[in-house]
Structure formats: structure tokens, C-alpha cells
Chains A and B, each alone.
Chain A
Amino acid sequence: MSRAWLPLAGFVVLAGFLGIGLTLNPREVPSPLIGKPAPAFTLPTLADPQKQFSVDEAKGEVWLLNVWASWCTPCLEEHPLIEALSKKGIPIYGLNYKDKDPAALAWLRRYGDPYRLSVVDPTGRVGIDYGVYGTPETYLIDRQGVIRFKHVGPLNPQVVERTLLPLIEKLRAS
């Protein structure tokens, strides 16, 4: 091979790297929590602040924890998908993140409440434990209370059909 091809080869390699870089989403940070037990919390529920809910109560089920807020526009975007998942019989718990209770309740009344229940995290402290950095976020938690999958940003049909549902199927079978 002639040496004259070397600059072209260098360019092709560089363009290849940059091309791959363009297809990646820099906002998607791999979570270190995958395969780890879901961080414990006990928080008051949105519907009744006198009642509390803790992660342990969902043990024995394959369930979703969906981080949402009434101020979060992309949450509205994924809302029909969350409702569809709920209709399929998948238990979904909401973590109402850094929100005001009246605003959150009004949001659920207006757009529908697909959650088995929502707990409130007004300070975002539990959010930090879950590594939340962009609402909405969705965590798939197995029967043993281990986080199996995390999606940052609004769910989309592709993720639901190709990843989430097959994974739920598998975890339920095991």
C-alpha cells in the first residue's frame, strides 16, 4: 500500500469514531444501581400523607418505579405509555419528585392516575439515592427488590416493546 493512503486512512478512522459518537446519547449515563437492591425509602403517599409506603411492601412482585412531577413536561409525553403498561397489569408506583402536593394531585385528576400509588419526595433526597438526574425516570425492580433496568427520559414505544416488556416477562417467569 502506498504511503499516500495514510492520511485518508487516518481520516476514515477519525470520521468513524466521530460518526459513532453522533449516534450516542450523552445524557444516558449508565446507572451503577443496575443489579443492586433498590435503595430503601419510607415516604408518605400522595393521596394520603398520613399513610406511608416503603420499598419492601412491593417485594414479591415485578414492578416499575416511575419518577414524575407535575412540572415535568416529558412526563406528560410518556403518560399514555405508563397508562398502557398499567392496563396490562404491571404494577407501577410513582415517585412524585420535588413537587407540590396540590399541583401533583391536580395533574393526576386532569391526565389520569395510572399509579398503584405515588409517594412524595419534596426535597429530592430519595431521588439522589436513586441517582435521579432527569425526570421522568423509570426503574424496573424484580421480586427480590433488585433494580434490573433503568430508563432516563420519557419512555417510548421502542423501549417498552423491545426491552421493558420482554424483561418483565422474563423476570415474572423466573
Chain B
Amino acid sequence: MLRACMMALALGAGGMVLAQDGASGSTAATAPPSAPSPAPAPAAPAGVARPNAADPELERRLIAVTKELRCLVCQNESIADSHADLAVDMRNEIREQLKGGMSERQVLDFMVARYGNFVRFRPPLDWTTLALWFGPALLMLAGLGVLLSQLRQRRRLAAQRVIPELSDAERAALAALATRGPAGPIDRPAAAGPESSGQARRNDG
């Protein structure tokens, strides 16, 4: 149970990292296909693509908003990443809205009013999203609780372990071992283990 929970968390974290990677590489994809591409600036550092847009600040805001929005056609991609027709339409719509003076907040509200909270990758906290927001942490805590109680129980059992009373014969054998080494009155089987048999050989020689 705990392992499954940890694995799910690890997978979730991995997925988020992947999504982040995808989003950071999408600058070129969010540029409008019809936008005239500016002449490459000689000052641009090698290996860094210039944003293919007339207004880089607008594109930066566009990417910031569209990364928060889920593409409903390919549901685990953001509007910023997706090449679906709907995502292209939405990027164009949002670009116009931002250009028209709407804030990021207003754009998000606009999309939520039409597509519901599902379009947001980070839905607002209300009673329908409680399990979503706190479920993973609760599972983690439950797992840690199980682990701790198991460890505590194990330690208690170890502390309670009673050393049995030795019989007279055993006491004598123990004393013999302490003074003379393993070749005592107790017959050790030959296959007691490589270490002890090695010990015995050295004693013989």
C-alpha cells in the first residue's frame, strides 16, 4: 500500500517534470502562423531561438496563461503545448483578449465559464476538489503512519524478547566454548558455515 502510494507520487512528479519540459520548448509553436518572422538579430546568442512574434512580451503572457489551461482534445497537454486545432484557436482567441487589455485572471475566468474548472491544471479549492488537493498528502501521511506503527511494534517485540533459561548441559557447553574454542563437547555439523569451518581448520593446524 505504502509502496504503491510512493510510486504514484513519484510518477506524478515525473509527469509534472515532463509537462514542464514540454512547455518550455513550445515558444515557436505558439507564434501565429501568419506572423511575419522578424529578421534574425545578429546579437542573439547561438542556440537560442528568438520568439517568432512581433510582440515578445505579449507572447510571454500568452504562454504563461495557456500553460495553465488544459487542452480538451488531448487532455494531458496544455493549450500552450498542443497542436490540436482547438488549442490553436484558443491561443489565437487568448492572444486577442490579452491584446485587448484583458488580464490573465480574466482570461482564465473566460475559459472556466465555457469549459468548466476542468480546463485549469490548478483548479480552485472547493469541496469538489478537496480530495484532489489534499488526497495525495493524506495518502502520504497514512503511509508514513503505517510505517511508523510497524517500526514501533517491531522495536517493542525486540525489547520484549526473553532469553530462555539454559539447562545445565548447555551451561557446561557454553563454558567449554569460552575456554577451548569451538572444538568442544558440542558436535558441530561439518556444514555449519564456511566461516566456522575455516576457524576449525585453523585451530587444527
Chain A: residues with CB nearer than 8 A to chain B?
7, 10, 14, 26-27, 29-33, 98, 123-125, 127-131, 133-134
B158 surroundings in chain A (CB, below 8 A): none
A131 contacts which of B4, B115, B117 (Cβ < 8 Å)?
Answer: B115
Q: Complex Cα distance A133/B84, Å?
A: 10
B residues contacting A by CB (< 8 A) are 1, 4, 72-73, 75, 85-86, 89-90, 93, 112-118
**Chain B residues near A131 (CB-CB < 8 A):** 114-116
Contact, CB under 8 Å: B89 / A133: no
Q: Which of A14, A123, A134 contacts B72 (CB 8 A)?
A: A134
Residues of A near B73 (CB, < 8 A) are: 133-134
| B120 smallest CB distance to A (angstroms) | 12
Task: Label chain A's interface by main secondary structure.
Answer: loop
Are A128 and B114 in touch, CB under 8 angstroms? yes
User: Is the contact region of chain B dominated by helix, strand, or loop, or is it mixed?
Assistant: helix
With both beta carbons as reference points, the residue of chain B lying nearest to A123 in the complex is identified as: B89
Query: Assuming the A-B contacts A7-B1, A26-B75, A128-B90, are A32 and B85 also in contact, with contact meaning beta carbons closer than 8 angstroms in the complex?
Result: no
Once A98-B85, A124-B89, A133-B73 are accepted as A-B contacts, the answer to whether A29 and B115 lie under 8 Å apart by CB is yes
B-chain residues with CB within 8 Å of residue A129 when the two chains form the complex: 114
Known: A7-B1, A10-B1, A134-B73. A32 touches B116 (CB 8 A): yes
Instruction: Decide: A32 and B113 in contact? CB cutoff 8 A.
Output: yes
Contact residues in B for A134 (Cβ distance below 8 Å): 72-73
B90 contacts across to A, CB distance below 8 A: 128
In the assembled complex, the Cα of A125 lies from the Cα of B86 at a distance in Å of 10
> Which chain A residue shows the least CB distance to B85?
A98
Q: In the complex the two chains form, what is the Cα distance from A30 to B117 in whole Å? A: 9
Is there contact, CB below 8 Å, between A133 and B72? Answer: yes
Within the complex, what minimum Cβ distance (angstroms) separates A122 from chain B? 11
